[in-house]
Amino acid sequence: MQTNLKQLTAIAVLTAFLGGCSESPDGVPSAERPTARAVPVIVEPLAFERAGATIEAVGTSRAVLSAELHPAASGEVVAVNFEPGQFVKQGDVLVELDSRQEKLAVELARIKLEDAKRLNDRYLRSAESGAVLPTAVDAARAAMEAARVELQQAKISLDDRSIRSVFDGYVGAREVDPGDRVSPETMITTLDDRSSLLVSFEIPEAYIGEFRAGETIRLETWSASIPAVDGEVVDIGSRIDPLNRTFIARARVANNDDLLRPGMSFRVSADVEGARYAVLPETAVLWGAEGAYVWSVVDATAERVPVQVIQRREGRVLVDGELGSDAIVVVEGTQRMRTGVTVDYNEQRLAKARNKIGGNAGGDANSFSESD
């Protein structure tokens, strides 16, 4: 009897509890009440910036035009007409070789040509009366042309006895003196047009598609008395060195004050711009067991999206991930995010942010990154 009484009492208590929970005080059934409140967050649209890096290298310079001067023929030096470091003009005679034989050869060739001309003219006049056969006229004409060629050859040989400047520039040290015998293998001096210099330096192969001709670079010498200068990249090497995995780039730098010299070494600094990526505050990027991720808001619902961190910049992060470029991302309130959570954010603040970045958040791209 006592056991039955306890059972009846328990049933009565359970019935009263279920009856009390079936309806709220305001008359709304509990099954129809919201299961969770929207989480207030701050969101931002995507903005884009280019990833960048500063490349530093050591470069070596050469004159924009540079030559080692050699004689075209062997002979004895009779005159040296320059001083080391002198500025010379194109065509100036720098060194003279003994040319007596060559001058005589020119004179002899000129006499032969004049004689051949006279004979040819005489045969032409006689041919009109039939006194000379046509074959004789042809032979005289051929002899005249041969004499003309011999004269040109003699003049070239005479010209080879003078070593001339091939362009405007500065000559180097004198390697010969009057009385020396020289040959085509003998270097007379160097000649440099250093109105501008070409600086060659090595770039890692990772930048082969991003480092281009036309880039502006910074060049500094190891001398504190020479100020830093800007240069322009003029050409890029066509091959990657398989040993050090670099390619050669060359920049032109003006040398209007003539402070720089061929052969100088330079500290080269080059800012390289890469592809464009989404840039977010650091607070928007979280880390989990599988790497970095952000919370994107789609139809007022939070979605977790994995991203790759490309570069960090003073409180901001460049990232790449599978998000539409018109996406909005949670930047504050991320600690309360879960997949599928309803979020609440200020629409007016979001609209101002979109206007501030000039519409960069819009577009049809399916990823953060944008190609050029």
Looking up residue 151, the CATH number of its domain turns out to be 2.40.50.100
Residues 261 and 230 in one domain: yes
Residues 213 and 243 placed together within one structural domain of the fold: yes
Q: How far, in Å, CA of 207 to CA of 247, rounded?
A: 9
Last residue of a domain, one of 215, 246, 272: 272
Contact status, residue 187 vs residue 68, Cβ threshold 8 Å: yes
CB distance 57 to 233 below 8 Å: no
Domain boundary among 221, 247, 272: 272
53 burial level (CB within 10 Å; 0-12, 13-18, 19+) = middle
Which single residue is written with the structure tokens 């050029």?
372
Q: Mean pLDDT over all residues of the chain?
A: 82
Contact assessment for residue 188 and residue 95, using Cβ atoms and an 8 Å cutoff? yes
* Model confidence pLDDT, tens digit, residues 232-283: 999 998 899 999 999 999 999 999 889 999 999 999 998 877 777 878 888 8
Instruction: Encode pLDDT of 2-35 as tens digits.
Output: 445 445 444 444 444 444 444 444 444 443 444 4
- Put residue 203 in one of left, alpha, beta given phi > 0 → left and psi -120 to 50 → alpha: beta
Pairing of strands 39-40, 343-344: parallel
Residue 20 lies in a domain: no
Check residue 365 and give its pLDDT. 37
Task: Note the pLDDT of residue 371.
Answer: 38
Identify whether the C-beta of residue 286 lies closer than 8 Å to the C-beta of residue 296.
Answer: no
Q: What is the pTM of this model?
A: 0.61
Does the structure show a pLDDT above 50 at 350? yes
Interval 301-317 mean pLDDT: 82
Question: Region 306-316: what's the mean pLDDT?
Answer: 81
Q: What is the pLDDT of residues 100-141, one digit of tens each?
A: 999 999 999 999 999 999 999 888 888 777 777 888 888 999
Residue 268 covered by a domain: yes
Q: Are strands 75-80 and 93-97 parallel, antiparallel or unpaired?
A: antiparallel
